[in-house]
Structure 1
Amino acid sequence: MGLLGLALALPLAACDTTPEPGKVALVEGFAGLVAADEPNATVVGREILANNGTAIDAAVGMGFAMAVTLPSRVGLGGGGACLAFDGQKKKATAVTFAPVGNDFGGVAPGLARGLAVLHAQGGVLRWELVVSPAENLARFGHPISRAFANDLKAAERLLARRPDLAALFSRDGRLLREGEKLVQPGIAALLGGIRQRGGVYLHSGAVAERLASEAREQGITLGDDEIRGFVPGVGPALTLPVGDDVLYLPPLPSGGGVLSGQLWQMLTGVRDWDGAGSKQGVLFTEAEIRALLARNAWPKATDIKGVPGQEMISEKAAETLWSGTPTGNAVYLPVPSAGFVVGDRFGNAVACSFTLNDFFGSGKVARGDELIYAAPPPPGTANAPTLVTALVGNENTGKLRLAMSVAGGDLAPGTFFQVARPTLEGTYKLPDAVDLPRIGRLPNGKLVAEAGYSSAGLEALRATGEKPETLGVPSLVEAFYCPDGIREKRGTSGDCAIVSDPRGHGLAERVE
């Protein structure tokens, strides 16, 4: 991809070794780390960091960019969840704007307002500078990446049933292929309004009325009052102690935080996964089933006092989960998502995950605006999409060590544990932990293990009656790990490792 969108958005500036935050200037030396499931978004984040933006500035730019470059999973009609760690304040904040449904399945657009709230937590570049790259990618076009081209191919049958949707991504009667140019004038116009009027643009006046009216014409029950009334959640993250550090996870209505926290507690507090040897897989699959079965009884986030989900990941809650006798069938839901991680030289970091709740959301489009309406969360998710992001930092030193975003629906919490635990324990370096063969259960209930998974582990699983098959686990990790913290030291990023899962087609870069 060329840097057209970025060149138009970020004015040329002289190099500066230590530019003041908020001043657009090219940074000499280490500027940050960035990894995303879609490579064009990584480039946007890289350029914002290189021009003296913070991790939050880069995250906002990347979120809007992914709505343009990966519209199969991310869109202005959808939502997400982000965690932001402030190295100076030594704490993390959660911004939740998950695409939850109303009583009739309608979902209010949440991405723009969510990213605006995120920007308010520590963005220093002007709003228009971080929105413009995505606007220009849409207006002037960009070569589609392999990540999006693969999604188009996988969704051929869906798109064949939705000619109005397919037309957005077609040329000469066929779907676009990798490297071919995609132009989105309707999305560009919406992003132009967001750039000029802020994240509230889609949620006010004639735009909200138009989007609601078009939704109703498409058979979606969604009122303009619901669009106007959508407010992202902002506040403390879920927390768990990890040695001297703190693991931060997104609260409800992002279900991935609760599922990840429950797995962590059951496998490290109630049971000893580290010492289980060949039976690690047995413990893992049992904990996963127990967590998913418990989801059927989750309360609504609005009915919970305090941080939504914190008590659900307590050690006591984990003991209760493990002590009961599982009944019923655990449902594994394939909610498509995508995300990224980004860290800056100031010691800040952001991890985000986004979704439309299905490939291309509901498949229904606001004509003219090109906005794809999100699908309602699948039944069985407690109206809490499984969005998995995580940060690990120290609240005494302000050092941020780990940032991770995992795509993969209900596979994501388990993948997070299988990668994060050995990394934090020092058993494996991050790139090796990401490469480790994983296990997971597909939506059809089939347990799969990637090639190379421990033969002793497979035998232990078979002894319990499981019938694991050798297949890939469709989950993707974007992560970085800095054992001494990410903060700049003499213009370098020290021993930081940054990884984009080789199972996908994302991109990871060290910006320096």
Structure 2
Amino acid sequence: MTLSACGSVQQPGESEAMEGFAGLVAADEPQAAVVGRNVLAENGSAADAAVAMGFTMGVTMPSRANPGGGGVCVSYLASQREGVSITFLPQSSGGSTPPPAMDRGLALLHALHGANNWEELLVPVENLARRGVPVSRAFARDINEAAEEIPAESRLGQLLRREDGALLREGDRLVQPGLAGLLGNLRRQGVGYSAGSTLATLIEDAANRAELDLTAEAVRSVRPQRQAPQEIGIDNDKLFLPAGPFTERPLRQRLVRALADGGADATAYRGRSVPSAGLVVADRFGSAVACEFSMGGLFGEQVLLEDSGIIASKSVQGPALDSLTTAVLGNENIPRSRIAVAAGGGDSAGAAGHVISAVLDRGEGLDAALSGLPGEARRSLVNAIYCPTGATGSGSGSCSVARDAHSDGLSFLVR
């Protein structure tokens, strides 16, 4: 992507020294936000940061983002002036357990928009799983909420407890050798490892022993969906929304209504809320990504599939889709992204629409927009980026990034 008419212009992924604005990042889990900040600071693209953050949340917040689950991402690539929808949700039919989808979805995002080397992105994440990470406040809350449903003697129950048998608390160290092994194989062999017979057979055997219906063939057949996103025209820009199964739900209509009404209808939402973890990231080249990840419930089926590092998920489909909203505002003529929003839980579309309307129509700052969410939108965890003139090096001075007040995540403007 060319940013000036003369001289050598640095591209995403180049390792030369960088000065000034590098991007913006926010996530529902603080250590994931730190990893995203580091990727941007090293001249990575928004997609690179999102991939690293997603895998990091698989380590630091496996209650919502373990590789056994999946998610949805919407991205805008400034150099191509286009939006892309990638859906890789944990879904199944007939009551069977959904096959793991997260690694293949993130691999597709990297293949489409990544600039950094895949192996370089996974090395720090593998080290986090192998050496251990401190339990964040966000993850500790999930552990406490799900503890009564997870048998203490189960593999997952043992993972979530200290040597004295007490539940892990904020600040305790979580070590996951099985997940480190999975990440190491993905790092060395690429995403093909997750579709290979070795891992697929291991997952099937472990699922059978746990009395779950998950076959090796289902594991091998997972294919993330890359599609043209749903769109909403806003002035000269377009708001890009997820496609795939989301086209069968009223996401676009609910967002159109929220934007037209100036915010969420406090009484409109009647969907099903599922736990999720979100992230938003924009780079200095004008690109942006918004993702939501889910296990279909806290810790999914609450079964750790033995030494694979994978926690079996529940299916996310039908009304459950209504509590996952990702949106990026980009331009098809000018290489710029202006807004990225990821909202999960409650009236997520209403929350996203309220934030977008507040900053564009009412001139509110992000913090004010997030503090004024009405009705069921208040139950959503929201991460948002807003750059009035675009998330680029030249237009970064007015950029802002925020998360809602009841989130225990973290946000950065990276310089």
1:503 partnered with 2:406? yes
Aligned to 1:152: 143
Residues 50-73 of structure 1: per-residue CA shift (max 9 Å, x gap): 111111111110010000000110
1:95 partnered with 2:116? no
Shift of 1:25: 4.0
1:231 partnered with 2:231? no
Q: Among residues 273, 284, 299, which one is paired with 2:261 in the alignment?
A: 273
Shift of 1:244: 1.8
1:485 partnered with 2:374? no
Aligned to 2:293: 354
Q: Among residues 281, 303, 319, which one is paired with 1:342 in the alignment?
A: 281
Residues 158-205 of structure 1: per-residue CA shift (max 9 Å, x gap): 224773212112102011111111110000000001001112212212
Is the Cα contact below 8 Å between 2:97 and 2:315 reproduced in 1?
yes
| Structure 2 counterpart SS, 1:371 | coil
| Structure 1 counterpart SS, 2:278 | strand
Aligned to 1:61: 52
Aligned to 1:204: 196
| Structure 1 counterpart SS, 2:401 | strand
Shift of 1:18: 6.1
Provide the rounded CA distance (Å) in 1 between the counterparts of 2:160 and 2:57. 15
Q: After TM superposition, what 4+ stretches of structure 1 lie above 6 angstroms from structure 2?
A: none
What is the TM-score with the length of structure 2 in the denominator? Answer: 0.93
Percent identity of equivalent pairs: 38
Residues 209-240 of structure 1: per-residue CA shift (max 9 Å, x gap): 11122112212212111111110001211111
1:406 partnered with 2:326? no
Q: Among residues 235, 243, 268, which one is paired with 1:251 in the alignment?
A: 243
Provide the rounded CA distance (Å) in 2 between the counterparts of 1:432 and 1:385. 24
The 1:373–1:25 alpha-carbon spacing in structure 2 relative to 1, beyond 3 Å, is farther
Aligned to 2:312: 373
Instruction: Work out which of the two has the higher radius of gyration on C-alpha atoms and give 1 or 2.
Output: 1
1:117 partnered with 2:108? yes
| Structure 2 counterpart SS, 1:253 | helix
Aligned to 1:327: none
Is the Cα contact below 8 Å between 1:377 and 1:385 reproduced in 2?
no
Residues 395-447 of structure 1: per-residue CA shift (max 9 Å, x gap): 12222110010121x42122112222222213422221011142118xxxxxx
Provide the rounded CA distance (Å) in 2 between the counterparts of 1:412 and 1:394. 24
Aligned to 2:5: none
Provide the rounded CA distance (Å) in 1 between the counterparts of 2:380 and 2:321. 19
Provide the rounded CA distance (Å) in 2 between the counterparts of 1:179 and 1:267. 39
| Structure 2 counterpart SS, 1:130 | helix
Residues 27-69 of structure 1: per-residue CA shift (max 9 Å, x gap): 2211111000001001111111111111111111001000000
What is the TM-score with the length of structure 1 in the denominator? Answer: 0.76
Is the Cα contact below 8 Å between 1:98 and 1:384 reproduced in 2?
no
The 1:28–1:266 alpha-carbon spacing in structure 2 relative to 1, beyond 3 Å, is closer
Farther-moved stretch of structure 1 (258-267 vs 55-64): 258-267
1:143 maps to a residue whose letter is P
| Structure 2 counterpart SS, 1:365 | coil
The 1:476–1:354 alpha-carbon spacing in structure 2 relative to 1, beyond 3 Å, is same
Is the Cα contact below 8 Å between 2:25 and 2:281 reproduced in 1?
yes
The 1:162–1:402 alpha-carbon spacing in structure 2 relative to 1, beyond 3 Å, is farther
Q: Among residues 354, 359, 370, which one is paired with 1:434 in the alignment?
A: 370
Is the Cα contact below 8 Å between 2:283 and 2:392 reproduced in 1?
yes
Provide the rounded CA distance (Å) in 1 between the counterparts of 2:17 and 2:67. 30
Is the Cα contact below 8 Å between 2:255 and 2:349 reproduced in 1?
no
Aligned to 2:43: 52
Considering Cα pairs closer than 8 Å and 6+ residues apart, tell me whether 1 or 2 has the greater RCO.
2
Q: Unmatched 5+ residue regions in structure 2?
A: 1-7
| Structure 1 counterpart SS, 2:308 | coil
| Structure 1 counterpart SS, 2:407 | coil
2:388 maps to a residue whose letter is P
Provide the rounded CA distance (Å) in 2 between the counterparts of 1:149 and 1:502. 18
| Structure 1 counterpart SS, 2:398 | coil
Q: Among residues 396, 408, 421, which one is paired with 2:357 in the alignment?
A: 421
Provide the rounded CA distance (Å) in 2 between the counterparts of 1:249 and 1:435. 23
